[in-house]
Amino acid sequence: MSGADLLPSQRSLFDIPDDVAYLNCAYMSPLPKASLAAGEAGLRRKAQPWTIPSTDFFAMSETVRGLFASMIHAAADDIAFIPAVSYGMAQAARNISLRPGQTILTLAEQFPSNVYPWMDLAERSGATFVSVPRPADDDWTAALLARIDAAAGVVAVPHCHWTDGGLIELEAVGAACRRVGAVLCIDGTQSVGALPFDVKRVDPDFLCVAGYKWLLGPYSLGFLYVAPRWQDGRPIEQNWIARRDSEDFAGLVNYKREYQPGARRFDVGERSNFALMPVAKASLELILGWPVPRVAATLKARTDAVATRARDELGIGSAPAARRAGHYLGLRFSRGIPADLPARLAANSVFVSVRGRAMRVTPHLWNSDADVERLFASLQRP
């Protein structure tokens, strides 16, 4: 993608004061103004419930299901609503049977919502929970592929490591999983929306994405992709709207064994959420309009520039560009993060975060060159 295809700053779409350098999308995105307005209108409807017809329990959910599906090249039928990644991974773990001697592969220092469900499944099944150590050369893909053998039952990984953006080449991992019959469960929370993802190329079994980071959406409304081969599985809860004919409110007590089609049986209860669903819709529409490949290219140009300048001017390193996700930078301080750095960042209203030994710099389209100047003013000692 050439420079001409990069997106200009979209700061005017967000409510961010000029003197705030918010470089922390990996923590939580700000809501776009349009999404905030949609949420305020949605919340207001609950003050007048006679304005909410029963068809609204379905219509907007279906639209949002379709929007998210298009972002990952899936079908609307493949998507369920989840309140958290932990919930989506619990749905996956509920449906996977393992034997003693099989392994569940994860990465060292992986986010806990994609760790605890697997420790629990290992305990219940007698399978072995494995944490692949951080490779010295930042090549997570090679380190993981080396462990995907005939014993592998589950591979539960992200697209990029949440501490520093370390990239996992998921197409290669997907192919290896299919070769040995392992179930691939992906946490796309720190990537989907900012890094292209195609279920047809990766072929995951399950993919969970929290909505409040790179999807620019609300807290507690996320998405679960369920591959068609798992869509006749057993959900962890039994809610009324997931059953066939739930559109017929008068007939709800004609209890049904059958579910709504596709992945809808895995929807969290009360997923129709009249306040938050419009927020998710507005945010997804914004991202799809940019669209994701241009977001990815623009953020990569931004983080590449920060990485180069940090190395050349300050001697601060990071993973090689080819081994990290383009939107995500972890700055590595060889002698640890200086004790006075948090105070310097705070004094300049620069927002980043520390995870493990890395300082995460995760910009988005609201950022300007001035934000980067504020970051470097803080990194340079006075």
Ligand X SMILES: Cc1ncc(COP(=O)(O)O)c(C=O)c1O
Return residues touching ligand X (CB under 6 A). 84-86, 111, 113, 158, 162, 187, 189-190, 210
Nearer to ligand X, 223 or 259 (CB): 223
CB of 211 to ligand X, least distance (A): 9
- For residue 297, what are its two tokens? 């290219």
Q: Residues 121, 131, 142, CA angle at the centre, nearest 5°?
A: 125
Nearer to ligand X, 81 or 111 (CB): 111
Query: Strand 222-226 and strand 206-209: pairing?
Result: antiparallel
CB of 234 to ligand X, least distance (A): 21
Nearer to ligand X, 153 or 158 (CB): 158
CB of 166 to ligand X, least distance (A): 12
Nearer to ligand X, 190 or 246 (CB): 190
CB of 112 to ligand X, least distance (A): 8
Which amino acid is located at 270 in the chain? E
Burial of 355 (0-12, 13-18, 19+ CB in 10 A): middle
- For residue 224, what are its two tokens? 């679960």
d(CA 192, CA 291) in angstroms, rounded, equals 12
Q: How many residues does the structure list for the chain? A: 382
Nearer to ligand X, 42 or 217 (CB): 217
d(CA 151, CA 324) in angstroms, rounded, equals 28
CB of 113 to ligand X, least distance (A): 3
Nearer to ligand X, 71 or 210 (CB): 210
CB of 279 to ligand X, least distance (A): 16
CB of 20 to ligand X, least distance (A): 21
d(CA 368, CA 345) in angstroms, rounded, equals 17
Nearer to ligand X, 85 or 173 (CB): 85
CB of 335 to ligand X, least distance (A): 26
Q: Residues 144, 147, 148, CA angle at the centre, nearest 5°?
A: 90
Contacts 24+ apart (CB under 8 A), 248-256: 249/54
Of the candidates 187, 135, 196, the residue with the CA atom closest to the CA atom of residue 323: 135
Nearer to ligand X, 138 or 187 (CB): 187
Burial of 254 (0-12, 13-18, 19+ CB in 10 A): exposed
d(CA 257, CA 124) in angstroms, rounded, equals 28
CA 81 from centroid of its chain's CA atoms: 13
